[in-house]
Amino acid sequence: MERMLESGAVTVHWFFPNAERESRYLKIPVDITGGLAGRRVFFIPSGTQHLFDNIRNLEDFRSRNLVGGFGAGWYDIEVWRQNTLEFRVIPGDPLDIFRMLESGNRGIDYFSRSVLEIIAEIPRYPGLEIEQHLLFSYPRDFMFFVSANEPLVHEVLSFALSSAQEDGILEEIRSVYLPPVYQILNLDDRVNIQLDLPPEG
């Protein structure tokens, strides 16, 4: 998709921003999901909620020596490393992480997912539970990028999306088209642990 955007075959697409993309395409600096993509909750094996209870902050979490599972090359690996959190990289099919977690005793204690992902995945994994106590957050969201060949499109869309954000229209659209994650996952009642992002480059 990035090659198509660079060549102009595609005019607009959404990505997580990084320095390389911002140097090649024209970014529209408006969060698409309102920050939900950077809010993480965990899949855990059934019956292990007690391992996560009574955690109040990042130091508490580190002291439990809980190990997260991630696919190779995932951005969360760098976030976890930046915050001195234990993790294990599982090469191959990302579905293997779900299977390993379901089977237990496979070297991982949880699987971090965005609040949007986990809502869709709940019905597929009856052998897993959603951890009920914690919310990990970091300031990263999808944004639209426009082909560098289309500066006028970038100008028009930037104005339209910025105006929609200021007027509250984007929030109304999110409430219609995104799942009600705050209610389903009780996000306001969770301990919100803020994670630092790794430096760019």
pLDDT class for 201, splitting at 50, 70, 90? very low
Residue range 91-144, pLDDT digits in tens: 988 889 999 999 886 799 999 999 999 999 989 998 999 999 999 999 999 999
Same domain, 47 and 100: yes
* pTM of the shown model: 0.88
pLDDT class for 9, splitting at 50, 70, 90? confident
What secondary structure, in 3-state letters, does the chain show? CHHHHHHCCCCEEEECCCHHHHHHCEEECCCCCCCHHHEEEEEEECCCHHHCCCCCCHHHHHHCCCCEEEECCCHHHHHHHHCCCCEEEECCCCHHHHHHHHHCCCCCCEEEEEHHHHHHHHHHCCCEEECCCEEEECCCCCEEEECCCCHHHHHHHHHHHHHHHHHCHHHHHHHHHCCCHHHHCCHHHCEEEECCCCCCC
Same domain, 66 and 84: yes
Question: Is 198 domain-assigned?
Answer: no
Q: Tally the domains of the chain.
A: 2
Same domain, 72 and 57: yes
Same domain, 153 and 72: no
User: Cα angle at 132 between 67 and 143, to 5 degrees?
Assistant: 75
Of 162 and 177, the one with more pLDDT: 162
What is the pLDDT, as a whole number, of residue 33? 94
What is the pLDDT, as a whole number, of residue 105? 67
- How many separate helices (H) and strands (E) can be counted in the chain? 9, 10
Same domain, 101 and 168: no
Question: Is 187 domain-assigned?
Answer: no
pLDDT class for 6, splitting at 50, 70, 90? confident
Question: Is 199 domain-assigned?
Answer: no
Same domain, 70 and 154: no
Domain containing residue 55: 36-137
Question: Is 182 domain-assigned?
Answer: no
Which DSSP helix (H) or strand (E) runs through 5? Answer: helix 2-7
Question: Is 160 domain-assigned?
Answer: yes
Same domain, 22 and 85: no
Q: Running DSSP on this structure, what letter comes out for residue 167?
A: H
Residue range 20-55, pLDDT digits in tens: 999 999 999 999 999 999 999 999 999 999 999 999
Q: What is the mean pLDDT of residues 149-166?
A: 96
The number of beta carbons lying within 10 Å of the beta carbon of residue 29 is: 12
Here the tokens at position 159 are 């104005």
Alpha-carbon gap, residue 175 to 178, rounded angstroms: 6
Same domain, 47 and 115: yes
CA 159 to chain centre: 26
Domain CATH code at residue 124? 3.40.190.10
What is the pLDDT, as a whole number, of residue 169? 94
pLDDT class for 165, splitting at 50, 70, 90? very high
Same domain, 124 and 41: yes
What is the pLDDT, as a whole number, of residue 179? 87
